[in-house]
Amino acid sequence: MMIQFVEFFTNSSYNMHKTVLLIAGPTAVGKTNVSLQLAKHFRTEIISADSRQCYKEITIGVAKPSTEELQQVPHHFINSHSIYDSVNAASFEQYAMDHVTELFKQHDLLVMVGGTGLYIKAFCEGMDDIPAIDETIRNEVQTAYQLNGISWLQQQIKTHDPLFAVEGEMQNPQRMMRALEVVLSTGQSILQFRKGEKQERRFNIIKIGLELPREELYQRINHRVDVMMNDGLLEEAKTVYPFKQLNALQTVGYKELFDYFDGTVNLETAVDKIKQHSRQYAKRQLTWFKRDAEIKWFQPAELKEIFQYVELKIKKAGT
């Protein structure tokens, strides 16, 4: 498939008539519905850019599209991997580019939707190469985090990678573990491998951002968590609890319930923490995406305006 990727994307006169329509935004804002409406309108397919919906063992806590929604439009990078698989922004970039190569043979426009900023950045701009990580170091970091918690991880980052401590995501255990394993394996900060050089994409990318007033978004997040609990999130978390050390499960909605199973908090507190951490995550997502000047922002109910904007951008790209 890599050969096809090279051949396909060297024909720029052909591919500049191809478009990826990107739908980004915070959790619970309504990205799924908008992406479905756009995909059905353009009779195309959807590539997810969510770092957790790809895992087939977890569904409720990662807010996957329903079975009915998945049947309406073909989706990719949903239920495509196992929690035992190593999935990161670089592997997502390769996965997405391979699928774009194939799907552009059938469609002029594809929809990509998600809230994982680093995955979207990797797809749009490419990833810098990072040397292979010593698996022993990776396992040691993950085990130590499980034993000692986020405070230990933050202190290790400050000691070994002060650059990341200042500029990195110091509330995100997954990002911090990645940064720590890189610096321990290479002696360099993970940030030093990011050259900031964008790779050329020989197709058009139209970026749509979805947002809501903060209070409305937070109400939607709180309601979604209640619905998840009613739909069986507690039981789902129990099924993966024996594997809680896996990187795929270091995520909001599961970590809090794992604490409940461990007996460190009661269930009410765990649910409140899921809501709190989800709101904090949504705030970080918005901060990330607002830095991208190419994103055009809409509210999720403004479907007519979104369609008009997309049609205009496609028309301009074709002239």
Q: How many CB atoms within 10 Å of residue 13?
A: 7
Architecture of the structural domain at 2-128+197-212+284-317: 3-Layer(aba) Sandwich (3.40)
Do the Cβ atoms of 274 and 260 come closer than 8 Å?
Answer: no
- The partner residues of 298 in beta bridges, in order of sequence, read 210
Angstrom CA distances, 138 to 1, 90, 97, 208, 247, stand at 30, 17, 27, 36, 11
| CA–CA gap between residue 299 and residue 25 (Å, rounded) | 10
What pLDDT is recorded for position 14? Answer: 43
What pLDDT is recorded for position 1? Answer: 37
| CA–CA gap between residue 41 and residue 14 (Å, rounded) | 23
Domain boundaries defined on the chain = 2-128+197-212+284-317, 135-193
Backbone angles phi, psi at 237, to 5 degrees: -65, -35
Do the Cβ atoms of 270 and 256 come closer than 8 Å?
Answer: yes
- The partner residues of 16 in beta bridges, in order of sequence, read none
Query: How many residues appear in the chain?
Result: 319
Q: How confident is the model over 193-205, as a mean pLDDT?
A: 82
Q: Is the pLDDT of residue 7 over 60?
A: no
Pairing of strands 46-48, 296-298: unpaired
Q: How confident is the model over 31-50, as a mean pLDDT?
A: 98
pLDDT tens digits, one per residue of 239-289: 999 999 888 998 999 999 999 999 999 999 999 999 999 999 999 999 999
CATH 1.10.20.140 fits 135-193, yes or no: yes
Q: How confident is the model over 224-245, as a mean pLDDT?
A: 97
Backbone angles phi, psi at 108, to 5 degrees: -85, -20
Residues of the chain with pLDDT > 70: what percent? 94
pLDDT tens digits, one per residue of 276-319: 999 999 999 999 999 999 999 999 999 999 999 999 999 888 76
At 22, the amino acid letter reads L
pLDDT tens digits, one per residue of 133-176: 888 998 899 889 888 988 999 999 999 999 889 888 787 788 89
Mean pLDDT of the chain: 91
- The partner residues of 19 in beta bridges, in order of sequence, read 109, 204
